Chains A and B, each alone.
Chain A
């Protein structure tokens, strides 16, 4: 508020001084803005090309034979090899896809549910002890997984999670809890407490209040939290290559590495595999754009 006013005052006073100048140069001003818009348009256009060309190239070359990728990788395919997609899918991508789906879906479900439970407990546990507990739980935001890699690796061996879905799901949930708790708690605080007082008088247990009142009322934020978690787990790379050894359990980011090594130089099929792997999140983004953006914004508060 105050900063708005300050800026307003500042800009206003500066322009009192400069208006006399600008009034003499309307033509120059217009010419400048034309140049300005041209330059801006060029910047945006160049950026569009830089972003989309590699995507376009990948899709086009995923429909070529390896031979053609080598000889004419910058032109359209002479023969459209849709079979590359079938080969990629049957050659391993379907299994990575399924693994990613299982791991992501479990991580999302567990992260959101455990965080919501925790957020519910936190808003009822008031006072300094409650604040200390909150700080302790969201303090995990400051810890990046790289830092604990060696002990975590050992922990996976000791718990026998190593080389199973749990080796990914459990750490994913643990590391996504802080941000999700923060997100859900902020939303729970906006739910009027009269609501659960009333429910309590009607004989609801707090367990029931959580499930029948808090969860349904918070659908939007739970979806946002879920989308944010899914985005993280679908593309997570470090744990995925270290905690899983078996090819049959690999998720997409690590699976594609094995896929490339197995294919050797069958590039068309590899590129088709890349395209298939990219589709789910792009589709999800198109349909859930609002949740994605909301999640990304709150996710950036990290640290």
Chain B
């Protein structure tokens, strides 16, 4: 055995990371639960204990209900585009037929992922413009004037217009994850099945899909979890409006905290966000466990 006289205790190396994590991650998280039982303002120092009042109000709050539904819409639409469509695109791109052009397309598809949410939101604000915007001009151009909308200004379409730009921005990211995962599938599996006369679609269903179960689950979970914490897109594009029609939990949290100066109530909304993300993670844990057992 070695003597340890010349060695620092390994714990010393862990101290900076542990200190930062405790002070800026765990402590605020716990404090948030405490704060959700208080009513207070950012400017005045006093905090008033209100018991379950914030939560009682939250259940009755129409804006919370709309926000939660919008988060769910965000999740459902994001799963369709960022899990299902992205996976299909990744599978197509990995077909030998497209091998020459695939490297270029991969880079192109990835460019939106690199842009700041502010940039993407500003550009699409031009496209959504009721008069000069691309979408309404296209509709007018193909004779569908009656379908023209004030995309961001109408409470029927605002949330969908917001969700759409997230798909535009993030599909390239999940597609890249799928591509890398599909590349690790053994070529023998494809050769064996093509010798058997399997078509490309049969190969997709019987080889690509089952071999990608794990990455599909991971991307599914990450996509849903992100849908419950989304903030930048609705905040910049609509501010949650008109009314609360495109509000999500994070924008409503922001509004309660920094516009209405109701910090306790905002903390209670944060508890809801936390509960949603934890539920998603619990589902993942369960699914990955049962997946392991079945093998």
Contacts and interface: CB of A to CB of B under 8 A. Distances in A.
Kindly name the residue among B105, B197, B266 whose own CB sees the greatest number of chain A CB atoms within 10 A: B197
Interface string B115-135: 111110011101100001010
B253 interface: yes
A120 interface: yes
B147 interface: no
Contacts of A267: 126
Interface in A256-293: 256-257, 260, 267, 270-271, 274, 277-278, 281-282, 285-286, 289, 293
Interface residues of A, number: 110
A29 B201 CA distance: 11
B250 A146 contact: yes
B24 A297 contact: no
A300 B123 CA distance: 27
Contacts of A40: 92, 95, 97-98
A277 B114 CA distance: 11
Contacts, number: 301
Contacts of B108: 48, 51-52
A303 interface: yes
Band of interface residues on B: 35 or more
Interface stretch (B8-16, B57-65, B72-80, B148-156): B8-16
A108 interface: no
B111 A237 contact: no
Contacts of B92: 40, 43-44
Given A50-B168, A302-B222, A253 B116 contact: yes
Nearest to A203: B6
Interface in B1-45: 2, 6-8, 10-14, 16-18, 20-21, 23-29, 31-32, 35, 42
Contacts of B117: 235, 237, 253
A11 B16 contact: no
A208 B25 CA distance: 30
B89 A152 contact: no
Contact of B199 (A33, A147, A289, A297): A33
Interface of B: 2, 6-8, 10-14, 16-18, 20-21, 23-29, 31-32, 35, 42, 88-89, 92-93, 95, 97-98, 101, 105, 107-112, 114-119, 122-124, 126-127, 132, 134, 137, 168, 171-173, 176-177, 180, 186, 188-189, 192-193, 196-201, 206-207, 210-211, 218-219, 221-222, 225, 229, 231-232, 235-236, 250, 253-254, 257-258, 263, 266-267, 270-271, 273-274, 277-278, 280-281, 284, 295
Given A4-B186, A144-B225, 9 more contacts: A54-B124, A117-B16, A118-B16, A137-B21, A175-B25, A206-B8, A238-B231, A260-B122, A282-B111
Interface of A: 2-4, 7-8, 10-12, 14-16, 18-19, 22-23, 29, 32-33, 36-37, 40-41, 43-44, 47-48, 50-52, 54-55, 57-58, 61, 69-70, 73-74, 114-115, 117-118, 120-122, 124-125, 133, 136-137, 140, 142-144, 146-155, 170-171, 173-175, 177-178, 181, 197, 200, 203, 205-207, 210, 231, 234-235, 237-238, 241-242, 252-254, 256-257, 260, 267, 270-271, 274, 277-278, 281-282, 285-286, 289, 293, 296-297, 300-303
